Amino acid sequence: MRPVVFIGFITVIHFVVSFALFMYVIGMGLPAFDEFRPRTASESLIDGVATVVLAPFSLVGDAIPHDWFPGRSFFVVLVANSLIWGLLAYALLVAYRRWRISRHAG
């Protein structure tokens, strides 16, 4: 698979999953906040998965002023985050292939 296709595929899949998880976490968090009830185990699990999938965006989200990304420009940040994951996945794939080749060559 060509690098651009692989990175693009991972980026699109990651963006869709990230956006869905982000919207779900927001949707499940608002009623819990309004009702002053603790989160269930499944809600905590989904929130943890969303935190991992949205990293590094979720890790620096509080450090970036919200007025830097008004309205829908938030999607630019989410796409950039997904692109980072796509590049990382490709780098890991290349490293694995090189490791596998060197292991069989020696």
Residue type for position 19: F
Residue type, 106: G
Q: Where are the domains of the chain?
A: 3-105
Beta-carbon count within 10 A of 32 CB: 13
CA dihedral 20, 24, 26, 32 (to 10 degrees): -170
Q: How many residues does the chain have?
A: 106
First to last CA, the chain: 26
Residue-wise pLDDT tens digits, 82-95: 999 999 999 999 99
Number of H helices, E strands in the chain: 4, 0
State the pLDDT at residue 86. 97
What is the share, in percent, of the chain residues with pLDDT greater than 70? Answer: 86
